[in-house]
A and B are shown apart, each in its own frame.
Chain A
C-alpha cells in the first residue's frame, strides 16, 4: 500500500510521525493504566463488594430442616414422634408459563383443574405457593416424577401420637409449623424444638444445587423428653373413666394418679378427649386439660384436711367425741345436714361416715387465719406450678372475706374450689408423711418437698381414711383385694347462678397401699345422670379398677395379705367342690391382616 502513496505527501506525513506515534502510545498507555487501575480498584480496593455481588448470583444459604424431639413415657415408649412428610410447592410464575402441563398436575394433586388454575393466577406475581402440604413422601415423589417445571418439594416434619386420645390432653399438639400449641408440647417447646441449621450451596439459574460449599450452622435436632407418665396406667385410667362416664351418662371426668414419694404424674386423663393426630378447630372444649384447668368444689374430700388441722392445733384428739345428732345443724341462714343422724362420733367416725356436722364442729374452735394458712399449705388456692400451661389456681377466699358460715362450709369442702391435680397433690402430701411435693410431668425431675403437717398427724389421718373403704365406710367399692386403701369420697352439688343446682360432682381421692402409700389418685366425675350420684358408687369403682391393675403393673407388694388368704381359702373350697378343666390350648396362629397397617397415614410401612 505504501508504494502507491504519492511521494509528495511523504514528507508531510513523515514530519508528523513521531508526534502521532507518541499520541497513539499515550492514548493506549492511558487506556491500559485505566484498565489496570480499574482492575486494581475491583480486585483490591472494592474487592469485597464485588465478591459479594457475584456470590449473591449463585451462592445461596439453604436451611437444613431438623426434627422435633421425641416424647416418651417413663418406660421409653414413644408417645409423640416426628416423622418426615413432604410439602409440594410450586412457582406460580413458572407454572403459568406452561399451561399445557396444568391438567396433569391437577390430576396428580387430586384437585379440580379450574381450582388449581384460579389459585395459581391469583398468585401470578408470587414465586412460592404450597400446592399440597404434609403428604406422604411416596406421593410427593410421584408428583415430582412428572417433571413439571416449577414444581418442587421440601421436607417437613409432622407429629404423630401413637396413643391417640389417651394422652391427648397431657401432650397437647403442635401446629402446622411444628410448634407446640397446647399441653406439654407447648410447655417444653423450647426443649423439643430443634435449631434448623444452614448450609451454603452453589445453585444454577433453575435453582438446582450444583455444589455444596460449606456448612454455616449445624442443625441441632430437638431433644427428647421422658415423661413421668406411665402409658399403661394412663390407658387403664382412660378405659375405666370412659366406662364409668358411659355407665352413669356423665358429662365429663378427670383422673390424676401421682407417685406419692416423688410427686411424678403417672397418669392424667380427661374426658371428653380429642384425637391429637387430626386436630380440628371445632371442639375447643375437649382440648382443655380439665385435671389442671377446671375447678371443682372438693366437697367431703376436704374433711381429712380439716381433721388434720384440728389434730395439729390440738383442739381435737383421737379420742375426742362429737355429738352430731339430730343430723342437722342451724348455722346462720343455713342448715347443715348429714345424710343420717350418726349420733356421737369420734374423729375417725367423722371421716368414715363423712359427717358434715362433725367437720363443722371440728373446725369451730380453730382460728380463722390458722385454718386458712393450713389449707393453703396443702396447695389449695395457689397454682401447683407443675409446669403445665394454663394451670388454674383454684379459689380459697382469705379470712378477711369470710362470712359467718365460711369456715364451716370450707371445713366440708364448699365455698372453695380446686383442680383435680391440686386435690391429688394434697392427698399425696397426707400419704407422704405430711411432705407436699409439687407434681412434675418429667421423669426424674423431682421437686423439693415441703413439710405441711407433722408426720404423725398425717399418718393418723391416713389411718382414719382407711376406714372409708372398709365395711361401714362410704366407699366400700374402692376396696382392693390384698391392699389397704385410704380414701375419701366427695359428692358436691355444682354451684349455679343463685345457689347450688341439682347437678353433682362426684370425687374420690385415695391412697394405696394405705400402710405405705405408693399412689395418690383422684377421680372426678361431673354430672352423672344415670344410676347414682354418690361418689362412693360413681367415682370409687373407677379408682379401684385402675389402682388394682396399677399396683400389679408397678409391682407394689400387698400390705393386706390376710384378706387375700381368706379369699383364697374360699376359692380353694369352691375348687374342691368341682375342679374346672383347664382351658384348651390355643391353636389359632396369628395373622394380623385384619389390623390396619400402623403407618397407613404416611404409608411408611416397609
Chain B
C-alpha cells in the first residue's frame, strides 16, 4: 500500500517539476509575445501621433488662410452681400 503511495508521490513530484518547467517556458514565450505586441502597439501609437501631427501641420490655420485667400481667392463677404434669413 505504502509502495503505491510512494510511487504516486514520486510521479506527482516529477510531474509537477515538469509542469513548473513548462509554466516557466510558456511564461517566457508569452512575455516575448507581450513585448512584441507592446512594441507593435507603441509603434502604431507613434505612427498615429505622427500622422496627427502631420495633419495638424497641414491644417494649420495660417496655411489654410493663405491658401484660401491666394490660391482660390476666397474672402469674407462684404456687409451688403450677406443675406439675413428671417426666422
List chain A positions with a Cβ less than 8 A from chain B: 67, 70, 77-79, 81-84, 160, 162-164, 166, 199, 211-215, 221, 231-232, 235-236, 239, 481-482, 549, 561, 564-565, 567-568, 570-572, 574-575, 583, 586, 588, 595, 598-599, 602, 604-605
A440 to B5, CA, bound (A): 75
Which A residues touch B34, using CB under 8 A?
215
Cβ contacts A to B, 13 pairs, < 8 Å = A70-B49, A78-B49, A83-B50, A83-B53, A162-B57, A164-B62, A212-B31, A231-B61, A481-B79, A567-B80, A568-B83, A568-B84, A599-B54
Q: Does B82 contact A (CB under 8 A)?
A: yes
Which A residues touch B58, using CB under 8 A?
595, 598
Which A residues touch B56, using CB under 8 A?
77-79, 81, 162-163
Q: State whether B31 touches A604 (Cβ < 8 A).
A: no
- Nearest-Cβ distance from residue A204 to partner chain B, whole angstroms: 17
Known pairs A571-B81, A599-B50; A588 contacts B62 (CB<8 A): no
A320 to B78, CA, bound (A): 42
- Which B35-84 residues have a C-beta within 8 angstroms of A? 35, 45-46, 49-50, 52-63, 65, 71-73, 76, 78-84
Supplied contacts A81-B52, A163-B56, A239-B65, 11 more A-B pairs, CB within 8 Å: A77-B59, A78-B52, A162-B56, A162-B60, A166-B62, A212-B32, A561-B84, A564-B84, A565-B84, A571-B82, A598-B54
Cross-chain contact of A81 among B31, B49, B80 (Cβ < 8 A) = B49
Which B residues touch A162, using CB under 8 A?
53, 56-57, 60
Known pairs A211-B28, A213-B31, A231-B61; A602 contacts B50 (CB<8 A): yes
> Chain B binding site: helix, strand, loop or mixed by DSSP?
helix
Q: Which of A160, A166, A561 has the most CB of B within 10 A?
A: A160
A595 to B46, CA, bound (A): 24
Chain B residues bordering chain A, tally (CB within 8 A): 34
Q: State whether A599 touches B53 (Cβ < 8 A).
A: yes
A78 to B49, CA, bound (A): 9
A162 to B56, CA, bound (A): 6
Cross-chain contact of B60 among A67, A163, A236, A604 (Cβ < 8 A) = A163
Which B residues touch A83, using CB under 8 A?
46, 49-50, 53
Which A residues touch B32, using CB under 8 A?
211-212
Which A residues touch B80, using CB under 8 A?
567-568, 570-572, 574-575
A70 to B82, CA, bound (A): 40
Which B residues touch A236, using CB under 8 A?
61
A78 to B31, CA, bound (A): 34
Which A residues touch B53, using CB under 8 A?
78, 81, 83, 160, 162, 598-599
Which B residues touch A77, using CB under 8 A?
56, 59
